[in-house]
């Protein structure tokens, strides 16, 4: 009995209640976002987007080629904040580079795979961009775990799903299925911008981090989606 009481006490002392509550709230919010999308997008179009996102969901854990797992494993062994922050910056830089090449590989592959449903390749190519922000968000959450800041970690989960509801509602209403795909892409970036300042890194590194995330996200979207994908699919249609 004392063992159970001690376990519960330790769980609460580590802000475990926040994590438990955030998990439940996040599930409810995620369900609400899906329900809103279902009301605003025709079933056939939504089904294609969800099918494409399921494919990307299988690939997302490979973002960064496992560097985020290294951050969790070896970051827990480091003693000082400076060492943990240095490891975080290393994982950030190299993980973005490797994730970028993974995105390029998925985009190229989507052009040649004969999917059963129309426009699946288009959405797979676009949603592959989600790999990068999800990788960034995952290492930020890991960094807060390493700092034993479960309260902020729970806030990240709730904020992400609240923003998902907002972006899905607005973008699906304006752009239907494409809006839903863009909502899945932009929501993790918005969440990152809300919480990146809470990381305990020095000012110069923090400014570099924010600038890198903003520039990389905008550049990938503008170049790959607007310039490459749109023109490529228009070319295919013309033939």
Q: Is the pLDDT of residue 79 over 70?
A: yes
Q: What pLDDT was estimated at residue 89?
A: 85
Residue 114, exposed/middle/buried by CB under 10 A (0-12, 13-18, 19+)?
exposed
Domain containing residue 191: 2-238
Q: Residues 118-169: pLDDT tens digits?
A: 888 888 988 888 898 899 899 998 888 888 888 888 889 999 999 999 999 9
Cα radius of gyration rounded to whole Å, the chain: 19
The mean pLDDT of 65-89, rounded to a whole number, is 82
Q: Residues 184-234: pLDDT tens digits?
A: 988 998 898 888 878 777 656 665 566 566 556 555 555 555 445 555 444
Q: What pLDDT was estimated at residue 202?
A: 66
Q: What pLDDT was estimated at residue 164?
A: 94
Residue 219, exposed/middle/buried by CB under 10 A (0-12, 13-18, 19+)?
exposed
The mean pLDDT of 20-40, rounded to a whole number, is 88
Q: Is the pLDDT of residue 5 over 70?
A: no
Percent of the chain residues past pLDDT 70, beyond the cut: 77
**Average per-residue pLDDT in the chain?**
79
Interatomic CA distance for residues 187 and 172, integer angstroms: 13
Q: What pLDDT was estimated at residue 14?
A: 53
Interatomic CA distance for residues 198 and 105, integer angstroms: 33
Domains held by the chain: number: 1
Q: What pLDDT was estimated at residue 75?
A: 79
Q: Residues 32-52: pLDDT tens digits?
A: 998 999 999 988 888 999 999
Q: What pLDDT was estimated at residue 113?
A: 84
Residue with tokens 């676009």: 126
Give residue 17's pLDDT band: very low, low, confident or very high (50, 70, 90). low
Interatomic CA distance for residues 159 and 30, integer angstroms: 11
Q: What pLDDT was estimated at residue 77?
A: 80
Residue with tokens 């800041």: 149
């Amino acid at each position: 009995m004392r063992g159970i009481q001690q376990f519960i006490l330790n769980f609460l002392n580590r802000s475990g209640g926040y994590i438990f509550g955030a998990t439940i709230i996040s599930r409810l919010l995620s369900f609400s976002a899906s329900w809103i999308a279902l009301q605003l997008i025709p079933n056939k179009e939504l089904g294609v987007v969800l099918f494409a996102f399921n494919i990307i969901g299988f690939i997302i854990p490979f973002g960064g080629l496992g560097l985020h797992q290294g951050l969790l494993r070896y970051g827990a062994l480091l003693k000082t904040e400076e060492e943990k922050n240095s490891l975080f910056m290393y994982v950030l830089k190299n993980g973005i580079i490797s994730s970028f090449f993974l995105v390029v590989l998925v985009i190229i592959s989507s052009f040649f795979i004969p999917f059963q449903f129309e426009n699946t390749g288009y959405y797979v190519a676009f949603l592959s961009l989600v790999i990068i922000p999800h990788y960034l968000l995952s290492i930020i959450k890991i960094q807060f775990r390493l700092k034993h800041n479960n309260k902020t970690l729970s806030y990240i989960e709730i904020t992400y799903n609240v923003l998902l509801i907002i972006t899905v509602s607005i973008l699906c209403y304006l752009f239907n299925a494409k809006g839903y795909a863009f909502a899945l892409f932009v929501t993790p970036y918005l969440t990152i911008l809300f919480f990146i300042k809470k990381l305990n890194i020095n000012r110069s590194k923090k400014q570099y981090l924010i600038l890198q995330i903003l520039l990389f996200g905008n550049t990938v979207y503008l170049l790959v989606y607007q310039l490459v994908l749109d023109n490529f699919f228009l070319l295919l249609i013309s033939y």
